[in-house]
Chain A
Amino acid sequence: MDANMFMQHFINALGLGSLYGLIAIGYTMVYGILRLINFAHGDIFMLGAYFVFFATVQYKLPWALGAFIAVSGTIVCGLLVDRVAYRPLRGAPRISALISAIGVSFFIENLAVVVFSGMPRPVVQPPLLMEAFSLGGIRLVPLAIMVPAISFIIVAALLWMIYRTKSGLAMRSISFDIETTRLMGVSVDRIIAMAFAIGSGLAAIAGIMWALRYPRVEPFMGIMPGFKAFIAAVFGGIGSVPGAMLGGLSLGFVEIMSVAFFPRLSGYRDAFAFLLLVVILLVKPTGLMGEKLEDKI
């Protein structure tokens, strides 16, 4: 493989990995606070992709406006899931919330089949993002650069929020000791809602960019990316936001590079992600940047 070819794969991996990372952040934030694996998160991602499809392809709105509507709509859905499916179970054993999460996931998927129809639908990519250009011998489209760039900017902003603002302080505090945090005057439900809103917003942004990269939407499109992002979150150390991004990038690189270097194994592409999960759980169960885990589901 020559250097140019490698660079193409590298940028491709960077794009895919940062999308996994964006989705993984939603898993990791909710897990960090509630010790809940939000299985519906992949479906929230799917909703983001559908909303942007409807806004821009169906209703022909400009992409920027469509993206804004999609992100807002997805955040509302994420908050609704928390309110309806998780908040009533806050005091219940954790396994109840987990089962509720699986139920919500199936519900959203099948509701999407009913409402959006099960047929995959093509997304029309904005031509501006698809005009190929050459950069030092590598053929690129603007989208390939845009995806990781937007992702990194968002993650930087999120890290600033978590480490430099009062709400971020409350989030970091809740993840360790809910009761003491409440005693300091923090409304825990509000902070949890905030975590769901941020996670859903990032999933929507990932969904939009996913729909641009792989230009079609279908009701079950969230399942595989959702699983992989979950693996990315575990690999990076669940509960850690930088870890989720790192895990996402690692997964993107493993997936793209394994196929690039061993084209014959391309059929096993998805299996690599799960292999990574098995390996990390055996070697370092807390993940790359994870802190000590107490009891975990």
Chain B
Amino acid sequence: MERKQPMLEIKNLTVWYGSINAVKGIDVSINRGEIVTLIGANGAGKSSTIRAIAGLVKGCGGSIAFTGKDGRVTQLLGKQPEAMVRQGIAISPEGRRILPHLTTEENLLLGAYTLSDKAQISENMEYAYSLFPRLKERRRQKGGTLSGGEQQMLAVGRSLMSSPELLMLDEPSLGLAPILVDEVFEIIKTINTEGRTILLVEQNALAALKIAAKAYVLEVGSITIQGTGGELLANPKVKEAYLGG
């Protein structure tokens, strides 16, 4: 029954930074179990959208409704990030934001801050390690000493630690070697098929569209094109602007 209600429904979202209008009234809906992607150039408003969901920006309007597993609807707009995490949404932020002075394991534990069940925390940690065996090898190492790829894995792993229903991944391929990009997207697909809904924000449109059920193209704060991943891959405008012709 709750299937009809999208898991996350964004309506007429606007984001202002002072007098700059970064997001100009967009609608995005994410159904349970999907991978949904927002693509677009730098400054198109992708990260602003994520930050609005997370509760990191003050000047936003519209509505962001999250429907949990139990069917309860929560309005996230204007709430603290803490509320988002407790609702079951986790984020792997742009630029990874690994805490360099904490060990890999401590970074993961921080991701599980909202959980108190020790068994659940260690289960989640084992899950993160099973997805990224490299992290297990490096678990006593300081986050700052990891390579870029390892830090990205840690950021994704950390976001899984709170047992989220919805995972928001902000530019997970940024700054990674092409071979690592494929690996990261493969893992995103795995995480999705194992039951997690994913909102993926990407500049690497090709890789994102290939795995996305639904996609939105953002241009200077507005959605200009939307459709299934396949439709957008075939769309001539998308091809020209984002897929290199």
Q: Which residues of A contact B (CB under 8 A)?
A: 166, 169-170, 172-173, 176-177, 179-187, 291
Contact A180 B162 (CB under 8 A): no
Residues of B within 8 A of A166 (CB): 109, 113
Most chain B beta carbons < 10 A, residue from A181, A182, A183: A183
Contact B80 A187 (CB under 8 A): yes
Q: Does B157 contact A (CB under 8 A)?
A: no
Contact B93 A180 (CB under 8 A): yes
Contact B106 A185 (CB under 8 A): no
Cβ-defined partner of A177 (8 Å) among B97, B109, B111: B97
Residues of B within 8 A of A183 (CB): 54, 56, 81, 85, 91, 93, 97
Q: List 16 A-B contacts (CB under 8 A).
A: A169-B106, A169-B110, A173-B99, A173-B102, A176-B102, A177-B97, A177-B99, A179-B56, A180-B99, A181-B110, A183-B91, A184-B110, A185-B81, A185-B82, A185-B84, A185-B162
Contact A184 B102 (CB under 8 A): no
Contact A180 B109 (CB under 8 A): no
Main secondary structure of the interface of A (DSSP, over half): helix
Q: Does B226 contact A (CB under 8 A)?
A: no
The answer for the CA separation of A182 and B93 in the assembled complex, in Å, is: 11
A180 to chain B, nearest CB (A): 4
The answer for the CA separation of A180 and B56 in the assembled complex, in Å, is: 10
Cβ-defined partner of B82 (8 Å) among A169, A179, A182, A291: A182
A166 to chain B, nearest CB (A): 6
Contact A176 B100 (CB under 8 A): yes
Closest to B96 in A: A180
B148 to chain A, nearest CB (A): 17
How does the 8 Å CB contact mask read for B97-137 relative to A, with 1 for contact and 0 for none? 10111100010011101100000000000000000000000
Known pairs A177-B97, A185-B84 / 5 extra A-B pairs, C-beta < 8 Å: A169-B102, A183-B85, A184-B85, A184-B110, A185-B86
A176 to chain B, nearest CB (A): 5
Residues of B within 8 A of A185 (CB): 81-82, 84-86, 113-114, 162
Q: Does B214 contact A (CB under 8 A)?
A: no
Number of A-B contacts (CB under 8 A): 60
Residues of B within 8 A of A172 (CB): 99, 101-102, 106
Q: Does B158 contact A (CB under 8 A)?
A: yes
Contact B97 A186 (CB under 8 A): no
Residues of A within 8 A of B82 (CB): 182, 185-187
A71 to chain B, nearest CB (A): 27
Residues of B within 8 A of A180 (CB): 93, 97, 99
B4 to chain A, nearest CB (A): 29
A242 to chain B, nearest CB (A): 14
Most chain B beta carbons < 10 A, residue from A172, A180, A182: A180
A207 to chain B, nearest CB (A): 32
A184 to chain B, nearest CB (A): 5
Evaluate whether A176 and B101 lie within 8 angstroms (CB atoms) in the complex, with A170-B113, A186-B113 already known: yes
Cβ-defined partner of B110 (8 Å) among A170, A179, A187, A291: A170
The answer for the CA separation of A172 and B97 in the assembled complex, in Å, is: 14
Nearest 3 interchain pairs by C-beta:
A185-B85, A185-B114, A180-B97
Interface residues of B in 162-217 (CB under 8 A from A): 162
Cβ-defined partner of B113 (8 Å) among A176, A177, A184: A184
Residues of A within 8 A of B54 (CB): 183
Residues of B within 8 A of A173 (CB): 99, 102, 110
Interface residues of B in 8-45 (CB under 8 A from A): none
Closest to A187 in B: B82
Residues of A within 8 A of B100 (CB): 176
Closest to B83 in A: A185
Residues of B within 8 A of A181 (CB): 110
The answer for the CA separation of A3 and B56 in the assembled complex, in Å, is: 62
Residues of B within 8 A of A179 (CB): 56, 97
Closest to A166 in B: B113
The answer for the CA separation of A185 and B82 in the assembled complex, in Å, is: 4
Closest to A189 in B: B80
Residues of A within 8 A of B101 (CB): 172, 176, 291
Residues of A within 8 A of B111 (CB): 184
Contact A169 B81 (CB under 8 A): no
Closest to B115 in A: A185
Interface residues of B in 63-109 (CB under 8 A from A): 80-82, 84-86, 91, 93, 97, 99-102, 106, 109
Residues of A within 8 A of B102 (CB): 169, 172-173, 176
Residues of A within 8 A of B85 (CB): 183-185
Residues of B within 8 A of A291 (CB): 101
Residues of A within 8 A of B91 (CB): 183
The answer for the CA separation of A169 and B80 in the assembled complex, in Å, is: 20
